[in-house]
Structure 1
Amino acid sequence: MTSAGPAATLRALHHGRRPGDPLVLPNVWDAASARVFADAGFPALATPSAGIAASLGYADGRTPADEMFAAIARIVRAVDVPVTADVEAGYGLSAEELVGRLAEAGAVGCNLEDSDHATGALRDPEEQAAWLAEVRAAAGDALVLNARIDTFLRGERGPDAFVARARAYTEAGADCLYPILAPPELLPELAAAVSLPLNALAKPGGPPPRELGALGATRITFGGGLQQQATATLAAVAGRLWADTGN
């Protein structure tokens, strides 16, 4: 495949950004939420595996692959901006199958994480790098590859383990690196140690996107947080409605 339209647009959005002006990618979980954020002016969107799982009635990590790709396709069809999809660890698909399913759904980017869902442990970094290289070879430039690195999630609190994996995944062809749950105060050190854009997770009560950008993040995502906030708002509406019935 070759770089085309939306993929090239999404990739370009990661570059030439000023500190404090990161690419903010709202994580949308269905067609309606996608339209809300696209209509607000965001130039690209992301999907959260946790948010989609919740919207479909599954626990995080339990959504069947077919249902996940169908949900991604509905989101893509609903908007005219590029969409990047969280496809967890790839659902056991071959690189060619994964790239094909993403293309069929219309996604032009993806997250791939280096946790082994069967064991809950980190995958061997050389094996993960080889897998990412296979995905890059299958996709060419038609997929923006965000390599999620789970060292902080799995309890390795220092930067060294992240940096070693980041360099291997960079050589494998990643476009962006995502140290999920990295402490914000470490972002300057992490950003200085790598050559690719850095994705940071914005969490309720944590630094806002502009502050994360000033700390070194190029791209900001929210995981399932926006879906959780929307559900909390809906729960409040439901509570008021129930109270109004006199019960």
Structure 2
Amino acid sequence: MSFHDLHRPGDPLLLPNAWDYGSAAALAAQGFAAIGTTSLGVAAVHGRPDAAGATRAETVELAQQMSGLDVMVTVDIEGGFSDDPAQVSDLVASLAALGVAGVNLEDGRPDGTLRPMTLQQEIIEAALGHGVFVNARTDTCWLKTGDTLERVRAYGHADGVFVPGLGDPGEIAEVVAATPLPLNVLYQPGGPSLARLAEAGVARVSTGSLLYRASLQGALAAVLAVQGRPSPPVPSYADVTALLPRS
């Protein structure tokens, strides 16, 4: 079965996201069909800011390490680590040579804006043609800017679309109806269940940074318990990014 075949609307692929070799190996041992990487986790492990194009080498290194695992791997390459389509093409080609099955390519920028749509279309086009599943992520909901349906339709030449922050089942169904591509959403604790997301037509559910953030909570809970102190909550994305260098 190919990675593309795992994307079944109504029977979504649950994609856990790893941040280093150990977490990837632990997830692979649980029998998941595919594993993704999380840019926040990779950035935090290396003391870099997330979504700032600062972890290209570290991302490729992790992909190379994960290629030795008996599991399909898809890699979060942020915005491609470049605004030059040729450089993005070269990056995806190098990941394909490692056996990577997919990449996640976003249009959000560190300043809270979206990459110009025509440029993002060119970058998606550049990422195609390497035998890798190109998941076109739009951050309209995440950044609360832009038109989600317009972006989703504009990225129709990709292999799949990803709209993190999309959680209302009615809105999800609207996006599903707007594109023939498999829709990926981000699992949100307290949000719709996996079964409810399946009913809405979702084809892939990612955990994003959740597992990394939960691991931080677990580590803090363990050491605070030694002192008899209560466990902290799972830190939010903003909590973790606030700990990271800004450049």
Range of TM-score over shorter length:
0.7 to 0.9
Match of 2:89 among 96, 111, 121: 96
- After superposition, give the CA deviation of every residue in 1:188-239 in whole Å (9 maximum; x if it has no partner): 1111111110001002222222222222211000111111111211211122
SS in structure 2 of the partner of residue 145 of structure 1: strand
- After superposition, give the CA deviation of every residue in 1:168-197 in whole Å (9 maximum; x if it has no partner): 211xx3111111112323101111111110
Q: What RMSD in Å do the two structures reach over aligned CA positions?
A: 2.0
Q: Give 1:243 shift.
A: 5.3
Is there any run of 5+ residues in structure 1 with no aligned partner, and where?
1-7
- The reply on whether 1:66 has 2:57 as its aligned counterpart is yes
Flag the structure with higher helix content: 1
Match of 1:207 among 185, 192, 208: 192
Q: Runs (4+) of structure 1 moved beyond 6 Å?
A: none
Q: Which stretch of structure 1 is more off in the superposition, 55-64 or 144-153?
A: 55-64
- The reply on whether 1:30 has 2:20 as its aligned counterpart is yes
Match of 1:153 among 135, 142, 167: 142
Match of 2:132 among 143, 152, 163: 143
Instruction: State the one-letter code of the partner of 1:167.
Output: R
Aligned to 1:76: 67
What is the alpha-carbon distance in structure 2 between the residues aligned to residue 59 and residue 81 of structure 1?
28
- The structure-2 alpha-carbon separation of the partners of 1:24 and 1:151, relative to structure 1 and needing over 3 Å to count, comes to same
Instruction: State the one-letter code of the partner of 2:134.
Output: L
SS in structure 1 of the partner of residue 2 of structure 2: helix
Instruction: State the one-letter code of the partner of 1:81.
Output: V
Q: Give 1:38 shift.
A: 1.5
- The reply on whether 1:126 has 2:126 as its aligned counterpart is no
Instruction: State the one-letter code of the partner of 2:155.
Output: Y
Match of 1:169 among 152, 155, 175: 155
Q: Give 1:122 shift.
A: 0.9
Q: Give 1:106 shift.
A: 3.4
Q: Give 1:144 shift.
A: 0.4
Contact 1:184-1:212 at 8 Å conserved across structures: no
Contact 1:201-1:223 at 8 Å conserved across structures: yes
Overall identity of the aligned pairs, in %: 33
- After superposition, give the CA deviation of every residue in 1:111-159 in whole Å (9 maximum; x if it has no partner): 1001234x4311121221122112214x1xx1001000111122148xx
Instruction: State the one-letter code of the partner of 1:145.
Output: V
SS in structure 2 of the partner of residue 203 of structure 1: coil
Q: Give 1:52 shift.
A: 1.4
Instruction: State the one-letter code of the partner of 2:121.
Output: A
Is there any run of 5+ residues in structure 2 with no aligned partner, and where?
230-247
What is the alpha-carbon distance in structure 1 between the residues aligned to residue 198 and residue 186 of structure 2?
11
Q: Which stretch of structure 1 is more off in the superposition, 125-134 or 98-107?
A: 98-107
Match of 1:225 among 185, 210, 218: 210
What is the alpha-carbon distance in structure 2 between the residues aligned to residue 84 and residue 242 of structure 1?
40
